[in-house]
Structure 1
Amino acid sequence: MWRSLASNMLTILIVGLFLFAGVILWGKNEYTAEGPLDTAICFQVPSGSTMSRVSRRLEDDGAVSSGAVFRIGVKYSDKADALKAGSYLVPPGASMDTIVDQITRGGASTCGTEIVYRVGVTRVLAEVRELDPATNAFVERAEFTPGVDETPAIYQQKKAEADTRFRIALAEGVTSWQVVEALKAMDVLDGDPGRRPPEGSLAPDSYEVRPGTDRATVLAEMQARQDKRIADAWEARSSDAAVTTPEEMLILASIIEKETGVAEERGVVASVFTNRLKRGMRLQTDPTVIYGVTKGEGVLGRGLRQSELRGVTPWNTYVIEGLPPTPIANPGLQSLIAAVNPDTTDYVFFVADGTGGHAFAETLEEHNRNVAKWREIEAGNN
């Protein structure tokens, strides 16, 4: 009797162990298998959330098949206390394992509302936009000029929400004065920006900020990035470069930046100025004249006068020899690289060609023909 009972108990135990192992295997497969989502969703994790609350919301949203399996998987992956607040784009079919990695890894949010402050050469814009999970594209909700236009209600609403992201997008070719004035107009920032940074010392790039970030801190980050770019570009300089110091490279890069908005032209434009410097020719570039007039404080907004082209300023390369004493804008990385790695050409002239680019020439005769064509285009547009 006892032997039979023991045999039955052993059988039950073995069956139970197999069942338990089967449940564990099923749970593990369920945790890593493709999830039930048919379309992407933007899942928000508010500050102060718990994994238990998050698992229930994911189950309600149809992102996970079992909140219990999700919680067990989180526990056994040692990520129960690693939850990060933010907004996360959960793609179709995302596994529980993938979702856990998203909401515990941290870093920038991947969806939701973003407020972008675009500091451009001619204007500053604040954009309120939201990522559409279905298309993975941003939809613009509002656009205005900070400090000038009336502030839209949606901006104030989204600015107050905890999961809204803020970003400053600095365009290539802006001046340091323009950057400082733009930062002053951004009400998401705090503090005095301090003394205007030297021209050319700020890196055109994208900068994530948080409400209350100090303006001087933002400028310091912009300077740190530019310092690294200058060092890297100088380290990779070509023997064909006409400039002899990183400071000269920065000045030439700023002129290249202001002369062309066509990325493919930077190396060719750089070759023109390199050839002129090596031959002892004056650079004769309009953007330097403009900087001598404005000192980088705003946009000229009109054509140059003959008196300004002839006027003596430290930056007027029609009357001075070589490079001006300072940069005339904040150049991007590609212009820095072009300044010390110019294309190999014999060009010493260029003029606009009516397409947004330039026509280049080796001789004055050829250049004069290009100028005549450009004047015909100008006359036809008036």
Structure 2
Amino acid sequence: MALFKKLILTGVIVSVAAVAGFQWWARQPIAGAGAGQVIPFAIAQGSGVAAAAQQMATAGVPVNPFLFGVLARVTGKAGQIKAGSYELKPGTTPRRLLSQLVRGEFAQESLTIIEGWTFRQMRQTVDAAPNIKHETAALSDRELLAKVLGPDEKYPAAEGLFFPDTYLFAKNASDLSIYRRAHDMMMKRLKSAWDKRDPDLPYGDPYQALIMASLVEKETGLKSDRPMVAGVFVNRLKTGMLLQTDPTVIYGLGDKYDGKIHKKDLETDTPYNTYTRPGLPPTPIALPGAPSLLAATAPAKTDALYFVSRGDGTSHFSANLTEHNKAVNQYQIRNDARK
């Protein structure tokens, strides 16, 4: 009888020790992951905990597959593991690793789209991005737009429809997800700006405001000048003056632009030449950021009809042609002479 009691006591002690040891193991950094070493791994769709543990082991994650499976089961999370691409970082414990898989904390990459880029530049950047599934590289702009917006989309071009920002994405995510998020963000930002717009604007719809925002974006990189630039363009539209903005001419030239605008370029008619055609161009000419969207929908109240670059990033604004010509002489001609 005494021997039986001793055996039971020994079994209890061993069980308690095993549980304590298991809990200790679950809270300790995974042994074998070297300092500074990040180990990438992927969990396939439909994987159970045993398959997931084996996939991690195959990828070089130094966690005991059996114990990891036990941890997932005793915590009730064995059926909650999400497929995707992950990274094991130094210092990660088995419990933290399990949390990553359950929460879907995928390994993330980032891609930055710059304000003022054209859609063509955006596509080149997305196409060159590593660690992303390229599903749009062979598509035309129109085909890509249909994939993003659906077959019933009615925009004349993709230009301007994507918001410039830094986008985080899981490794091997589809590039379509970037385009969809960028488009959704642009529509949200445009709607927000349009809903707060000045009631006396010469735009027929939000798309025309987006076109104006792209002109403002390309005319100045100085945030504080954007409302004034928009104010000048709005005044010109209201009075029937030509917009005469060089960035539209450059956009209309496309690959023919050699880095400098020539007199013949200003005189050659294209749908985007605002020296030869009145009103706004038919589409945006770039991807405008939030400040340009706000400037286009809430332009400065001004009597200015002209502006010229001072050569330092700022602009001089004038209400009449005489004053403008003086400013051109003061800033542009003198700056050209200094070169």
Provide TM-score, normalisation by structure 1: 0.60
The 1:278/1:207 distance shift into structure 2, 3 A limit, reads farther
Partner of 2:87: 89
1:270 to 230, 239, 242: 230
The 1:354/1:99 distance shift into structure 2, 3 A limit, reads farther
What root-mean-square deviation, in Å, do the aligned CA atoms of Structure 1 and Structure 2 show? 4.9
Render the CA deviation track for 1:291-341: whole Å, top value 9, x for unaligned.
5x54xx5453353343553566665434555x3252242533423333113
Give the alignment of 1:161-240 within 5 angstroms. Answer: 164-166=131-133, 180=141, 197-199=155-157, 200=159, 202-204=161-163, 226-238=186-198
* Residues 250 and 257, structure 2, Cα contact 8 Å, conserved in 1: yes
1:31 corresponds to 2:32: no
1:324 corresponds to 2:280: yes
Render the CA deviation track for 1:204-230: whole Å, top value 9, x for unaligned.
45697999x899x99887766544443
The 1:307/1:79 distance shift into structure 2, 3 A limit, reads same
* Residues 34 and 95, structure 1, Cα contact 8 Å, conserved in 2: yes
* Residues 74 and 80, structure 1, Cα contact 8 Å, conserved in 2: yes
How far apart are residue 256 of structure 1 and its match? 1.7
Render the CA deviation track for 1:141-192: whole Å, top value 9, x for unaligned.
xxxxxxxxxxxxxxxxxxxxxxx4236999xxxxxxx9728969xxxx9xxx
Partner of 1:374: 332
> Aligned partners of 1:222, 1:181: CA distance in 2, in Å?
16
> Aligned partners of 1:220, 1:33: CA distance in 2, in Å?
41
* Residues 43 and 55, structure 2, Cα contact 8 Å, conserved in 1: no
Structure 2 counterpart SS, 1:247: helix
> Aligned partners of 1:264, 1:34: CA distance in 2, in Å?
51
Structure 1 counterpart SS, 2:128: strand
Structure 2 counterpart SS, 1:124: helix
The 1:302/1:332 distance shift into structure 2, 3 A limit, reads closer
Paired residues, number: 315
Render the CA deviation track for 1:123-149: whole Å, top value 9, x for unaligned.
9365365xxxxxxxxxxxxxxxxxxxx
Structure 2 counterpart SS, 1:269: helix
Select the structure that is richer in helix.
2
Partner of 2:247: 287
* Residues 231 and 300, structure 2, Cα contact 8 Å, conserved in 1: yes
Select the structure that is richer in strand.
1
Render the CA deviation track for 1:207-257: whole Å, top value 9, x for unaligned.
97999x899x99887766544443333224345755453132122122123
Provide TM-score, normalisation by structure 2: 0.66
The 1:204/1:378 distance shift into structure 2, 3 A limit, reads farther
1:246 corresponds to 2:241: no
> Aligned partners of 2:218, 2:231: CA distance in 1, in Å?
15
Unaligned runs of 5+ in 2: none
- Structure with the greater relative contact order (CA < 8 A, sep ≥ 6): 1 or 2? 2
1:352 corresponds to 2:319: no
* Residues 168 and 207, structure 1, Cα contact 8 Å, conserved in 2: no
The 1:182/1:80 distance shift into structure 2, 3 A limit, reads same
Partner of 1:361: 317
Partner of 2:53: 52
Partner of 1:110: 108
Work out the percentage of aligned pairs sharing the same amino acid: 25
> Aligned partners of 1:77, 1:281: CA distance in 2, in Å?
71
How far apart are residue 198 of structure 1 and its match? 1.2
* Residues 56 and 67, structure 1, Cα contact 8 Å, conserved in 2: yes
Structure 1 counterpart SS, 2:274: coil
* Residues 55 and 71, structure 1, Cα contact 8 Å, conserved in 2: no
